[in-house]
Structure 1
Amino acid sequence: MNNFSPALQQEMEEVGIRKTMTAGSLVLRENSYIQSIFILVNGSVRIMRTEEEGREILLYYLKPGQSCITSFLSGLHEDTCKVRAMVEEDAEILFIPINKAKEWITKYPEWANFIFHLYHIRFEELLTVINAIAFEQLDDRIMALLNKKKEVYQSNDFTITHQQIAEELGTTREVISRLLKQLEKRGKILLGRNRVILTGAM
């Protein structure tokens, strides 16, 4: 948000609502109408999609200074949101009324650039997700997810359950547990109770 003009930053503080949310809190529900968009100030948020059978899959993570372009587009077109946003790490979030977010597109060029840049980033990330589902082995997808977690937590050692990995990759806990043990035998990770350590082994 440092790239925004003083005028836009002032207006964001005037109309926005800041909230502190703990890990596991739901920021955005699927199939809900968008009353406000959110910008992540601190922490991290994961964006998920639920398929008809109830299985979930991770789409992407939000970092500080980013927003969920999917929810913004839903709000722009007065449609229901197609994703779910959940706090990964304790977060500070700025909520902006959707009518203001629309107004700023024409009022502030830097806001329009911000939105288009988010769209570009998320489109590329979604292509990566599609490519992974279509062409990559599940153990490679597990390692890719764990490396994303490493970036989020800025540590090789973090807390995560087998069930959570299964939910984020759209598969079962049993399959994940088996593959994690194989990855541990290959020296890529170390497993603890609800804990994974990336060893850096190739």
Structure 2
Amino acid sequence: MNNDLLQQKFSHSLDEDLITEISSKGILKTFKKDDIIIDIDQTLNFIPLLLTGDIKIIREDRDGNELLIYFLEAGETCTMSLTCCLGTTKSKIRAVAEKDSSLVMIPVQNMQTWFHNNESWRNFILQSYQIRFDEMLQAIDSLAFMKMDERLYKYLKNMAMVDESKTISIKHQEIAEDLNTSRVVVSRLLKKLENESKIKLGRNKIEVV
């Protein structure tokens, strides 16, 4: 594996020797938009490092309803998969490619060895836990304290930040699935946000003003 991209995305958090080792022992995989990367109840023997693209992490209830927990961006890892690997439990989340993405899969035995032997890796993992914990608290706060229109607007702003563009290409049904509500509710609230001059609606496109 060429480690130029690894250097570009992870040199700020991982030392050069470790990046070289990841380059030799990691497995490069690519996924298309909407591909499932990790599924619920899957046994994990690797953790992903995201090189390019974006991934959304989703929880699912017993009835199959989904709820978006957080997004992963390039240069990050999924701490939910770390927890499963360390505890040898099955995945409790679904990771779906938000756009075409490439990842390095780190075998669990290497991840555990590096955690004990490499300070930069240990700090990277602990910081990742803190970031994801903060994001999950924000998700809980949104569910508990925010109205649906506020949750929707926050979701759209996060999507714009992840896509690095004010214009988001997305269908109302996709938003409804991520927010665990109905398409009718989403369409009504989008119109409300447009009337408040917070967004502009187009055909399968939304511009965050």
| TM-score (norm. length: structure 2) | 0.92
Tell me how far apart the structure 1 counterparts of residues 188 and 132 of structure 2 sit (CA, whole Å). 31
Tell me how far apart the structure 2 counterparts of residues 26 and 154 of structure 1 sit (CA, whole Å). 23
Tell me how far apart the structure 1 counterparts of residues 14 and 185 of structure 2 sit (CA, whole Å). 46
Match of residue 187 from structure 1: 197
Q: For residue 77 of structure 2, give the secondary structure of its aligned residue in structure 1.
A: coil
User: CA shift at 1:20, angstroms?
Assistant: 2.1
Give 5+ residue unaligned stretches, structure 2.
Answer: 1-9
Q: Which is worse superposed, 54-63 or 181-190?
A: 181-190
Pairing of 1:160-175 with structure 2 (within 5 A): 160-175=170-185
| TM-score (norm. length: structure 1) | 0.95
User: CA shift at 1:118, angstroms?
Assistant: 0.5
Q: Say whether residues 1:125 and 2:109 are aligned partners.
A: no
Match of residue 77 from structure 1: 87
Tell me how far apart the structure 1 counterparts of residues 18 and 168 of structure 2 sit (CA, whole Å). 37
Q: Say whether residues 1:139 and 2:149 are aligned partners.
A: yes
Q: Say whether residues 1:21 and 2:31 are aligned partners.
A: yes
User: CA shift at 1:55, angstroms?
Assistant: 1.1
Cα RMSD after superposing both structures: 1.0
Tell me how far apart the structure 2 counterparts of residues 136 and 117 of structure 1 sit (CA, whole Å). 27
Q: Is the 8 A contact 1:55 1:171 kept in 2?
A: no
User: CA shift at 1:197, angstroms?
Assistant: 0.9
Letter paired with 2:201: L
Match of residue 73 from structure 2: 63
Which segments of structure 1 move beyond 6 Å, counting only runs of 4 or more? none
Query: Which residue of 8, 16, 21 corresponds with 1:11?
Result: 21
* TM-superposition CA deviations, 1:27-80 (whole Å, max 9, x none): 110111111100001111111111122111111111111000011111111000
Q: Give % identity.
A: 35
Query: Which residue of 41, 49, 66 corresponds with 2:59?
Result: 49
Match of residue 165 from structure 2: 155
User: CA shift at 1:175, angstroms?
Assistant: 1.0
* TM-superposition CA deviations, 1:65-120 (whole Å, max 9, x none): 10000111111110001111011121111111111111110011111111100000
| Pairs aligned (count) | 199
Q: Say whether residues 1:113 and 2:123 are aligned partners.
A: yes
Tell me how far apart the structure 2 counterparts of residues 146 and 42 of structure 1 sit (CA, whole Å). 21
Give 5+ residue unaligned stretches, structure 1.
Answer: none
* TM-superposition CA deviations, 1:152-199 (whole Å, max 9, x none): 111111201111111111111111111111111222111112111112
Letter paired with 2:163: Y
Q: Is the 8 A contact 1:49 1:58 kept in 2?
A: yes
Q: Which is worse superposed, 1-10 or 29-38?
A: 1-10
